Amino acid sequence: MSDNTFAKDIHKGLTAPLKHISSKYFYDDIGSGIFQDIMKMPEYYPTPCEFEILSLQGDQIINKLDFEKPFNIVEFGAGDGTKTRQLLKKLTERNIDFTYVPIDISKKAIGELKAGMYQQLPGLKIEPMIGNYFSMMEELSHSAIPALYLFLGGNIGNYEKPEVDNLLGDFKKSMRPGDQLLIGFDLQKNPATIRCAYDDPKGITKAFNINLLHRINRELGGNFNTSQFDFYSHYNPLNGEVRSYLVSLVPQKVHIAQMDRCYDFERNELIWTELSKKYTINEINQAAETNGFRVIGHFLDCKHYFTDSLWQI
């Protein structure tokens, strides 16, 4: 993603009535590293829940795949690939012919993923792509090779309802008849469980959010004093939405050299950084139907905290 796009998005977000920074900017190399730490937190249940699903139900998922010839497994936002490796291992053990195509915005994350995959699965065919997965969909849409798309980790929860429909529409446009989509959804559950996962006592999630300001300083010449910002996260169990914010602790001006602009912050003013929507099974079924998909099956962990749902067009 170019500095120019980053700068434009930051300017737009910091001049909006409710200041905001898109959560897609969390994942520079440093942010991706902090997110690896988040996934290891005992409070952060999505990772172990999805790991369980792909480890214990991988064979059931594979049995539902409908590919008669070699196919690609295209993963959007692949991260370190630890969870996905459980599924790839089962496919390899069954001598199924496929190529793994991980997509991530972080070159460093892709490098580490490849090294880890080759160490654990030496014969794996990997053709990684580095960049924003929205731009990669256009390239993938021209491929004649059948594909299983992976959109795991509950990342769908980061999008507002119209954006969800747009994203699923983009998936559908780049898929061919018979292609399938395995998509992770975080499910609604005890609000206390969700609250602890998104505002941990060690402050790792806070550091993940504050890194957005460090990134602006590093890449755009900002002069954010990060000690003058706090982090706040709120879960609304009525609509299933976690919303996270950075909070300006004092009235302040921040200059960003790339735009040669100052941005004013009032005391206690918010910068909205993330939405993380939790779904019900009915909402998942509705999202699939609305966007022209057929649900093949829901694969839930033992606590019913999370589902990886298999869809087909």
Looking at residue 3, its pLDDT comes to 66
Looking at residue 133, its pLDDT comes to 74
Mean pLDDT value of segment 50-71: 95
**Two tokens at 238?**
């009525």
pTM: 0.90
Mean pLDDT value of segment 29-44: 93
**pLDDT digits over 269-279, tens only?**
999 999 999 99
**pLDDT digits over 224-235, tens only?**
999 999 999 999
Q: Alpha-carbon distance 32 to 35, whole Å?
A: 5
**pLDDT digits over 197-239, tens only?**
999 999 999 999 999 999 999 999 999 999 999 999 999 999 9
Q: Alpha-carbon distance 58 to 39, whole Å?
A: 21
Domain edges within the chain: 3-42+192-277, 73-189+280-312
**pLDDT digits over 244-268, tens only?**
999 999 999 999 999 999 999 999 9
**pLDDT digits over 136-194, tens only?**
888 888 888 999 999 999 999 999 999 999 999 999 999 999 999 999 999 999 999 99
Look at the domain 73-189+280-312 and name its fold: Rossmann fold (3.40.50)
